[in-house]
Amino acid sequence: MKGINTLFYSLVMLCCLLGLNSCFNPFAPVEGDVGTRIWTDQRTIGGLLSNFELAYDYGDSLHYSDCIAESFVFHYYDVQNGRLDRWFRETDLKATGGMFRSFDPIDLEWNHIPVWIEDFSQPDTTVQFIVRFNLTLGQEVPLMGYAHFSVRMEENDQFRVVEWRDELEVP
């Protein structure tokens, strides 16, 4: 009987140890913790531009979609037809998602963002500004130009791009 009790207690202790061990894995990341510290809350225009740049750099279309407003309009010069054209949010999300899937790596850099733009955080204000950028898609030569942005803080206290007009520099 003593041998059965000892065996029983040993099995119970082993099960307890295995059960405790399976609940804790020191190498497993905490859910929701990986990478969340690099994204901002977009309460400033600088935060919006940082998230926009990170979305491009990581090819993250979910974070990118959070950077553009529901009423978003993108203006560009259609070289093939020789005219200015535009598209709206749905088309932009599809085009940008396709670009993210087609190029690796993608590197977007903003150049010389004025401090007043970086720190701007006033709600219910549409702000228009121009920022110079370098965009490298894969191993291609970087595209350089200017992005003319109109941004607005929306109901949830986050800035989003309302309008974007690209001006590429031709070397």
pLDDT in tens, 17-57: 444 444 544 444 444 444 556 899 999 999 999 999 999 99
In this predicted structure, the answer to whether residue 4 has a pLDDT above a threshold of 90 is no
Q: Distance between CA 42 and CA 67 in Å, rounded?
A: 8
Mind listing the domains of the chain with CATH numbers? 45-168 (3.10.450.50)
For 136, residues 6+ apart whose C-beta sits below 8 A from its C-beta are: 105, 106, 107, 142, 143
pLDDT in tens, 7-16: 445 444 544 4
Nearest partner of 77 among 168, 145, 171, 146, judged by Cα: 168
